[in-house]
Amino acid sequence: MLILISILVLGVMGLVFAGLLGFAADYFRVEEDPRVGQLLAVLPGGNCGACGFAGCRDFSEKLILGEAGVGGCTAGGAKVGEAIAAIMGVQAAAFDRKIATVHCGAKIDQRKPKAHYTGIQTCFAVNMVDGGGLACSYGCLGNGDCHAACPFDAIRMEEGLPLIDPEKCTACGNCVTACPRKIISIRPQDFPVVVACSSRDAGAVVRKICPVGCIGCKICVKQVPEVFAVSDNLAVVDYTKTGVSCDAAIEKCPTKCIVRL
């Protein structure tokens, strides 16, 4: 008798739950645009967030709402951009490839020490104690947090500086976030001129601690005023001015901190 009751009770409960779930699956059905699935299939699926949205799924939903551009996936590059455009039924805009760039040119033997640091060997930790042993409070710490953060194996450390492999870099921006000193930025690849310094110290201070730092002398501004500007003792490049020759500025820079990659 007890066995019968148990079977009955369990069976009835199972049926009730199954019915509830079946009903709920129908009642709470969420209508999803079929294009979301198609977009997810062509996107890289790394959920790197370089597009500015929370993962590939969010990006494809925003694409359908028209809030994201078809060229928004920097990690996927031109190929994915074209596939997205085909699904969305629009013409792909010219895809300008981007790449990560390091704004510091001081190799390990060019960096002036100010103390002897023996703590935890990651840039994040070193930066928390005022840059550890490094005199420059803006430059590369050389412990390779960016190298560890790169999901595409595009960064290797050479003479204490990260070297970015333009073939492998997808401009996902993980290294930009990982760098505690914020010396890595994303630039268009077809504009190969870079100010390899991030120091906002006055020129006299920079001269004392670094042979290759920007001293804010404005010679580059005099040579190529269209592209260069100096603010906070640091030269900056206007990446929208394509087609202007920067050779004069590169040649005249007294500390050679403007480089062509």
Partner 1 sequence: MKLFGIFFAAFLINNILLIRFIALCAFFGVSTKVGTSVGMSFAVIFVMTISSAVSWLIYYFILVPFNLEFLRTAVFIMTIASLVQLEELYLKKMIPNLYRAMGIYLPLITTNCAILAVAFLAIDYKYNFLESMIYSLGVSAGYALAIILFAYVRERMAAAPIPRWFQGYPIAFITAALMSLAFLGFSGMFGL
**Beta carbon nearer to partner 1, 19 or 166:** 19
Q: State the nearest-atom distance from the C-beta of 23 to partner 1, in Å.
A: 10
Q: State the nearest-atom distance from the C-beta of 3 to partner 1, in Å.
A: 11
**Beta carbon nearer to partner 1, 65 or 204:** 65
**Beta carbon nearer to partner 1, 51 or 220:** 51
If you write DSSP's letter for every residue of the chain in order, what string do you get? -HHHHHHHHHHHHHHHHHHHHHHHHHHTPPP--HHHHHHHHHS------TTSSSHHHHHHHHHHHT-S-TT--TTTHHHHHHHHHHHHTSPPPP---EEEEE-----GGGSPB-S---S--SHHHHHHTTTTTBS-SSS---S-HHHHH-TTS-EEEETTEEEE-TTT-----HHHHH-TT--EEEEETT--EEE-----S-HHHHHHH-TT------HHHHH-TTTEEEETTEEEE-TT-TT---HHHHHH-TT--EEE-
**Beta carbon nearer to partner 1, 29 or 260:** 29
Q: State the nearest-atom distance from the C-beta of 69 to partner 1, in Å.
A: 22
Q: State the nearest-atom distance from the C-beta of 121 to partner 1, in Å.
A: 7
- 245 is an interface residue for partner 1 by CB under 8 A: no
Q: State the nearest-atom distance from the C-beta of 137 to partner 1, in Å.
A: 20
Among 25, 65, 94, 204, binds partner 1 (CB under 8 A): 25
Residues in 93-152 that interact with partner 1 by CB under 8 A: 120-122, 124-125
Q: Which residues contact partner 1 by CB under 8 A?
A: 2, 5-6, 9-10, 13-14, 17-18, 20-21, 24-25, 27-30, 120-122, 124-125
